[in-house]
Structure formats: structure tokens, C-alpha cells
Chains A and B, each alone.
Chain A
Amino acid sequence: MNPETTIKLALALPLATAATTVFLGERQRNLRESFTLFGAVALFLVIAMLAPAVTSGARPAATLLEMIPGLAIAFEVEPLGMLFAMVASGLWIVTTCYSIGYMRAHHENHQTRFFVCFAVAIFAAVGAAMAANMFTLFVFYEVLTLSTYPLVTHHGTEAARKGGRTYLGILLFTSVAFLLLAVVWTWTIAGTLDFRPGGILAGKADNTVLCALLGLYVFGTGKAALMPFHRWLPAAMVAPTPVSALLHAVAVVKVGVFTVMKVAVYIFGIDLLRTTGISVWLMYVAGATILLASLVALTKDNLKARLAYSTISQLSYIVLGAMLANSWGVIGGSMHIAMHAVGKITLFFCAGAIYVTAHKTEISDMRGIGRTMPLTTFAFLLGSLSVIGLPPFGGSWSKWYLALGAAEAYQWPLVAVLMISSLLNIAYLIPIVVRGFFFAPVDGPEKPKIKEAPMLCVVPLCVTAVGGLALFFFAGRIYELLTPIAQLSGN
């Protein structure tokens, strides 16, 4: 199969999955879900087929159609997108299994709509990952926002309506008012929107304009949840847990930081950012977000809310990596996309499993949960360690490179921020596990019976927990994949 067909297939697969899901509907749910699972596995394999070529330096490309004369919906797979597409599609498989278990155990309504929107969201994430120009990326970015709205408001309650309003309000506001403006502005300045190694803006405008433009891009990418545009992420937690897990720990938020990374590397170019210093102020915005979000997370008693704020904090690591504008920063930030995804999805899976089995959402009620759900709680521990970034977990590598990047940029305060943040991570994640294992249960007997979530929920969360461990040893592969982008920065 030639690369162009492979790319088109990768886009067609999730859409075909969505279509079959609609067609099969609620009545044949076993078949419907088998197809979803099949689609997920097939998608991952198809994307994996592109990996060897990309690693060896090829850039598979495909053009779909010209939407506006001169502006095409086009795709080109480069290392960063490759990594992101692999992460998103790989975790889709796990999440699909988990969703089946969760949705059934919880007797959720509108399951067909759920699986359809989910597939469309993955389609958008994969499309964004492979985008060859900023225009395509923007289009898929918006498709992702809209396709996840029905997922966020899945329960149709008053709370869902409010959460959905914040979600859509902030994401559309930032993307339309800032990001679209930035995209069109770039188009008028540079005359192209293609992602090119070294950027397209060098020498096209003075520093003031570039600085404003960068601000528009970074804040316009509301999905990166940089403060003060982070409120949508906690609001999105009204969604069923599988949605929070895949979309609000992996696909949606990662499209955000991925966009920031792409803009830094391929629109501005790392050299331009470093020589002009236009990104320094944004480093500090990201640093502030890292600390503030961690502090807020400490105060949250609702587990999903705490995880959401933790995500906001972790996303800013990646934004920081992009803004540091050196190879370590870019490698660390990009790697963190994968590392954080695996760690955070585990934590969300655990939160969902606890909710389905024990019907608990507040951390203070989860004392002794380790006695009834030992496996889940242990997986939570592994996930936490990965997010904190302790060896031997994947997260340690990305944080290491980020710290190196901050040091290389002589931003010592930011190195300190990274260290303090790791401590804060420990402070808001580990007590949950400690209370779970060592404290007496809130109610019921001292030594209750073990009652884990359904198989389809437990297996996925164990897989991702172990995945976090495995990534520690496979980080070299990711590093190799990413070196070409880092080399662009000339040092």
C-alpha cells in the first residue's frame, strides 16, 4: 500500500466505524461494539504502518481537496504527528474496551450516539495529527470541539448543560477570536500556511507583530488549557468517565498542546523564537499555570476535578517545552504528550472504575478503597508515579528533558517551577493511594470483600498502568523518532 492510500485509510477508518455504529444502532449492540473495537485496532495498525517510513526520514503525504483556492486540506506525517497519532489511536483501543464495560455496567443511555461521537472525535484527532498545514489543523481542531460537545453533555442534565456551555463557550471563543485570527493573519503575512521545517514567518514581520501573533496562537489554542482559558476542562468532567479519560486526558487536550508545538516548530521555527525572545513571557505564563493548577488540584475533593486540574498543570509542561525553543524543550515537551497521556488515562480509568463499582466520586469517601479494589488502587499508584515522573516510569524522561531545556535556556526560575511542581504532584496524588490502602473504610466492615469493577474496565486500566512502566524502557525509540525535529533548531 502506498503512503497516500494509507493516510486516507487512516482517516476513513474512524468515519466508517461511526457509520457502521449508526447503522447497527442500539439493537445489535454486541455487533456494534465489535465493529468499534475492530475499527480501533485497524486504525492503530494502519497508523503503525506509517511509522517505519517516518522514522527513516520519509514524509508520507496526501492531499484531499482544495477548500479555498490556494488552501488545501492536506496531510503530511512528520515525527511529532506520528507520535501523537500513535498515542491517540493506541489508546482508543484500550478506551473502547473500557467504554464497553463502563457504559454497560452503568446502564448509560444513548450508547450509539456515544460511540459515534467518539469515533468522529478520533477521526478529528488523527486528522489534526497528520495535518500538513495550519488550515487543515484548524479545521480538524474545530471538528473535534463540536464532535465532543454531545459527549460532554451526554447525560442531558442541567449540570451537563452548564458544563457543555462552558466547554463550548471557551473553546469556540478562543479558537474563533484568537486562533482563526492568527491563522488568517499568518496567511496574509506569509502567503502560505504549510508546516515547513524552520518555519514560515522568519523575516516576514517585525518582532512586535510576531509576539502578538504568537500570543494569539498560544491563547487561541484553548485546548492547551493555558490559564486563564482553562475553565473548560474541569467543566468537561460532567462527561462519562471514558470521555474524560480519552478525550480530556488524551485526544482533545493533546490536540491543543500538539497545535502549540507545531506552531512553535513549523510556523515560527525554533530559531526564530529563540533569537527574538518573543516566547519568554509565555514561558512564565506556562510556569504560572503549572504551579497554580497544581495548587488548585490540592484543594479539590472530587477525584475527577483534581485530575482535571492536574491535567491543566501537566499540559503547561508541554507548552513550556515548546516555548523554551531549544531541542531539549521540544523533545521533552513532545515526549510528555505520550508519557502524560498514558499516565493520566490510567488515573481516569481508575476514577471511573471506582465510580462504577463503589459509586464514589469524592476523595474523602475513598478511604479504604484499596481493600475492596486492590488492583484498581495499585494501578492508580502506578499511574500517579508516572504522572509525577519518578523512575522507572515514562514520565521521568520527559520531565528530565524539560528540566534540561529550561536549564539550557538559562531560565533557572522555571527549573525550580518544574521541581516544585513534581512535589505538588506527589502531594495531591499519593495521599489518595495512601488513604485507600492504609485507612479504615468510611463505612462497612474492617476487612470487606474484594469487589473490583467489571473485567472490561479492570483490564484496560492495568494495561495502561503497565504501559507507563514500559514507556520508561522504550523512551529511546521515541527519542529517535523526535530527533529530526530537534535537529531543526541547529544546536
Chain B
Amino acid sequence: MEHHLPVLLIITPLVAAPLCVLVRQRLAVFGLSLTVCWATFAMAIMLLVRVLDSGEITYQLGGWSAPWGIEYRIDTLSAFVMLFVSGIGAIVLTFAPHSIAREIREDQHYLFFAEYLLCLTGLLGIAITGDLFNLFVFLEISSLSAYALISLGAREGVQQTRRALIAAFHYLVMGTIGATFILIGIGLLYMMTGTLNMADMAERLRAEVQINRKLMDVNETRTVLVAFAFLSVGISLKMALFPLHMWLPNAYTYAPSVVTAFLAATATKVSVYVLLRLIFTIVGASFAFEKLPLDTELMVLSLIGIVVASTTAIFQTNIKRMLAYSSVAQIGYIALGISFASLDGLTGAIVHLFNHALIKGGLFLAMGCLVLRLGSAELDDLRGIGRRMPWTMFAWVVGGLGLIGVPVTAGFISKWYLISAALERGWWPVALLVLLSSLLALVYVWRVVEAAYFQDSPEQHAEVTEAPAAMLIPTYVLIGATVFFGLWTSLSAGVAQQAAQLLLEVTP
């Protein structure tokens, strides 16, 4: 049993998803998905504990040994990613019932649960697999179900109406382009190495090959360079790295709040994981950063992205959209951390995956509470809400402080690592830019605070009351976690550092 844990982690939600469609009955479906999500979370915890105890775990699917069969390979990084993806998945689903009752048509609720579980399967699968093609399959599972989940926001009567469909379609087009690029990249790599197993591929890329009577390393061939270009662009699209983020704001704005919370906290993060795998496990850091200028490229794009997206966020009137732009900026921080290619930088990037997942997840759950009561996420409707929904707004403010990165919140820990990584290299302008950009976050967070606490509520919201405890508790679990992991960092920063060490040691 224990031995089969890796595969159980994936199979359980995968099997539960079609069951949801078969059962259809709302309460039963909810019960089933909730159990599955928490069970998945429990398994992810067990896996992380095992990995931390005894190092990397491999699992041969169906007993077919690698590189022929599909192999699941769990190191610290993947266990860590699975931990927070499944954790957020479980908490957000616990939050869901009231929220989807308002935002999703009743006859589509079973679809929501099925797609949610599929999406979770896909995201976990990406993190667990050691096989590049298998990774692509999981990426598509998660993406396709994400498109469908977003389109569920198209409920008549609720403000957003049909725009969710357009947003989902836009995401579908962009996402598919990204996926195609990734597939082309994988195909080219397969052509050059004849394997799809990542570890095996990494070895073979460093082998020698004779081309036109010239002896050269496989990873010096033009094919591999092209493959890498396709892969990195495709992944950047999926992770919404500036300027490939255009799909994200609409998708986050018009999706149901629960879906936004889940996707914002997990989907882009898992894509970052794929990028880390590509750079550090498959092609090697020296290839990406020394032979190719990926570090410079990531740094420039992420810095521009941080500033532009944070500035754009300031001018948004819809708070979900504002948070979406903030997500683009936060992806910039993560990419910036990767671009330093140092232990501190990489630790900062990995820990920010985790911290930002908690912060954004918590913030979007608070948004879910607000949308439940107000039917809108417009800044104008939020006026005076601090007095009507004090608990929700307090959670929002704490989450907002996390975004700014004030001490005692998780956001501060990430910022600390990023800044010390920048200063370690002597790049103080970069450090200053990171610090100044957190002040942009202060501006957009404080617009909401001032509206909520210093203005009078519009008349149509005079009767608004606090959100139900069933929603507040999950929100506070995530928000509480941002404070907890701002104080106690052995799990977050400690594990992230270990993961970063492993990634950096792998590279020659």
C-alpha cells in the first residue's frame, strides 16, 4: 500500500472525476470530492515526509522500468509542489459550496466538481511524473479542465454574464498555442535523444554525437536549441510570464471565485515547476544560463513584468482583475529568483511559489465571500464593506499585507531571499526595483482598504451581512497560514532551500 502511494495520489482524483459525472446528485458529489481532495492532501503530506526522510522516491508505472515505461519520480521539489497544490485544492473545495451556489448554474454543479478533480489530477501529475510526454498529457488534462472551469462563470444574472465564455475561449487559444509549442519541443528532444524519461534524456543530451563529420555534444545541436526555444516559450505562456500574460486577467476576473482561487494559487505555479525541471533537470543550468542567455532574458522580462503589471493593477476598478495583474507581477518575482541561478535566488523563487499560493488563494477566497454578498467585485461596491463584513475584510487586509511583503507575513520571507540574492550578486538596482515594486503593491492594496473602511456603503448594500462561517473558516485557514509561514519557515523556506540545493547540485 505504502509503496503505491505515488500512483494512488494521481489515480484517486482521476477516478473520482467521472464518478461525479455519473452520480450527479449535488450533495453526494460534494461529499465525494471533498473526501478525495483531503485524502490527496494527506497522501501528499506522507510523500513529502518520506522524501525528506529518505530522499528521492521512484515508482515504475505498471512495473515497466524506465526509460521504457513511465516513471514517477518524486524529489523534494515535486513533493513540495504537490503538498501545496493538494492542500490548496482541499481548502478551496471546502470553501466552495456556498460560493458556487451563487456563481454557477445549479445543473452544472456536478460538472464543476468533476472538472475540479480533473484539474487537480493534472496539476499533481505534472509534479509527480518523471516522463516528459506524460508531463505534457497531464498539462493538457489540467489546462482543458481549467478552460471548462472558467467557462462555468457564465451564469445569467450575475454581473459577469457571458464574458466568462470569451475569457475561457481566449485562454483556450493561448493555452493551446503554448501546449503546441511544448509538444513541438518535446518532439524535437525525443528525436535527438530517443527517450522521454527526463533523467535519461538529461544524460543523453550530454553525450556526443557525430553530425556532418563533426563530433559535438547533443545539446549543442541546432535541433536541441530549437527544442529549448519552443519549450521555454510554451512554458512561459502557461505560467503567464510577461508579456505572455494576456490570457490571465480576463480568465481570473470572469471565472467563478472558487475557480479563480484554485487556479491562481496553483496553475501558474505548476508551470513554473515545469520550467525549473526543464532548466535544472533536463538541459542543465549551464546550458540555459551560460550557453544561452535565459537568465538575462528572464531577469529583464520579469523586472519589466513586475513594474508594468503592478502599475496596471493600480488602475483596475475590478478587484479580481487587480489581483490578477498582481499575480502577473508575482510570477515576475518568481522568474526573477530563477534568473539569479544562485542558491538564495532559487530558494526565494521556490518559497515564493508556496507563499504566493497561500496569499493569493486566501485573497481570492476573501473575494469569494465578498462576491457572495455583493454580487460584484467592483471597487465601488466595496465601499464601506469593512463595517458590514469585518471578518472578511480583515482577512483581505492581512492577505494584502502579505502581497506587499511586510514582516510577519509569508511575503516578507520571499522578498528577503530575493533581495539578498540580488545584493549577493551586487545588483543593487535590481534589489531596489524589487523593493520599490512592493510599494506599488502597497498602493493597490491600500486603494481597497481606504474604500472599505473610509467610505460609506452605497445604498443597495445597506443590508449586506458577514459571509457564512463555512466560507470564513477556510479563508482564515489560508490567511492564517500566510502569517504562520511568515514566522515559522522550516517547512516553507527550509524545504525550498533543500529543493534548491538538489536542483543546483544536479547541474554539473
Interface residues of A (CB under 8 A from B): 65-69, 73, 138-139, 142-143, 146, 153, 156-158, 160-161, 165, 168-169, 172-173, 176-177, 180-181, 184-185, 187-188
Contacts and interface: CB of A to CB of B under 8 A. Distances in A.
Q: Which has the most chain B C-beta neighbours within 10 Å: A146, A158, A173, A180?
A: A180
B473 interface: no
Nearest to B415: A180
Contacts of A165: 446, 450
Interface in B459-508: 486-490, 493-494, 497
Nearest to B347: A69
Contacts of B406: 142, 146, 172
Contacts of B453: 153, 156
Given A176-B438, A177-B439, A139 B408 contact: yes
B49 interface: no
B436 interface: yes
Given A153-B454, A160-B454, A176-B405, 15 more contacts: A67-B489, A68-B413, A68-B493, A139-B407, A161-B454, A172-B442, A173-B439, A176-B439, A177-B435, A180-B435, A181-B431, A181-B432, A184-B419, A184-B431, A185-B431
Nearest to B419: A184
Nearest to A187: B420
A169 B450 CA distance: 13
A157 B450 CA distance: 11
B413 A188 contact: no
Contacts of B416: 68, 184
A306 to B, nearest CB: 27
A169 B440 CA distance: 11
A14 to B, nearest CB: 16
Minimum-distance CB pairs A-B, first 7: A139-B407, A161-B454, A188-B423, A142-B407, A184-B419, A184-B420, A177-B435
Contacts of A139: 407-408
Contacts of A180: 415, 419, 435
Most B C-beta atoms less than 10 A away, residue of A143, A181, A187: A181
Contacts of A146: 401, 406
A168 B439 CA distance: 11
Contacts of B297: none
B333 to A, nearest CB: 14
A329 B315 CA distance: 49
Contacts of A156: 453-454
Nearest to B423: A188
A185 B406 CA distance: 18
Contacts of B432: 177, 181
Interface string B438-453: 1100100010001001
A161 B450 CA distance: 7
Contacts of A73: 487
A138 B487 CA distance: 14
Given A146-B401, A176-B439, A188-B420, A181 B428 contact: yes
Nearest to B397: A146
B446 A69 contact: no
Q: How large is the interface on B (under 10, 10 to 19, 20 to 34, 35 or more residues)?
A: 20 to 34
A161 B454 CA distance: 7
Most buried by A among B404, B406, B486: B406
B408 A143 contact: yes
28 contacts: A67-B487, A68-B413, A68-B493, A69-B489, A69-B494, A138-B407, A142-B406, A142-B408, A143-B408, A146-B401, A153-B454, A157-B454, A161-B450, A165-B446, A165-B450, A169-B442, A172-B439, A176-B442, A177-B435, A180-B419, A180-B435, A181-B419, A184-B416, A185-B428, A185-B431, A187-B420, A188-B423, A188-B424
| Most chain A Cβ neighbours within 10 Å, of B401, B423, B438 | B423
Given A184-B431, A185-B428, A158 B454 contact: yes
Interface string B393-437: 000000001001111100001011101100110001001100110
A142 B490 CA distance: 22
Nearest to B497: A69
Nearest to B494: A69
Contacts of B404: 172
Contacts of B436: 177
A158 B450 CA distance: 10
Contacts of B497: 69
Contacts of A66: 489-490
A157 to B, nearest CB: 8
A165 B446 CA distance: 9
A109 to B, nearest CB: 11
B489 A68 contact: yes
Contact of B446 (A65, A67, A168, A176): A168
Nearest to A185: B423
A225 to B, nearest CB: 19
Contacts of A177: 432, 435-436, 439
A161 B435 CA distance: 24
Contacts of B438: 176
Contacts of A142: 406-408
Contacts of B408: 139, 142-143
B31 to A, nearest CB: 36
A161 B455 CA distance: 10
A423 B488 CA distance: 52
A165 B401 CA distance: 15
B450 A67 contact: no
A188 B417 CA distance: 11
A173 B407 CA distance: 14
B487 A65 contact: yes
B337 to A, nearest CB: 14
Contacts of B420: 184, 187-188
A165 B439 CA distance: 13
A73 B412 CA distance: 14
Contacts of A184: 416, 419-420, 423, 431
Nearest to A149: B449
Nearest to A156: B454
Contacts of B435: 176-177, 180-181
A66 B487 CA distance: 8
Nearest to B450: A161
A165 B449 CA distance: 11
B399 to A, nearest CB: 14
Contacts of A187: 420
B191 to A, nearest CB: 44
A184 B489 CA distance: 18
B19 to A, nearest CB: 44
A188 B438 CA distance: 21
A65 B488 contact: yes
Contacts of B489: 66-69
A139 B487 CA distance: 11
A177 to B, nearest CB: 5
A419 to B, nearest CB: 40
B122 to A, nearest CB: 33
A188 B421 CA distance: 9
B428 A143 contact: no
A161 B493 CA distance: 37
Given A139-B407, A185-B428, A67 B442 contact: no
Contacts of B428: 181, 185
Contacts of A138: 407
Contacts of B431: 181, 184-185
A187 B422 CA distance: 12
A214 B264 CA distance: 41
Contacts of A181: 419, 428, 431-432, 435
A146 B402 CA distance: 13
Nearest to B386: A156
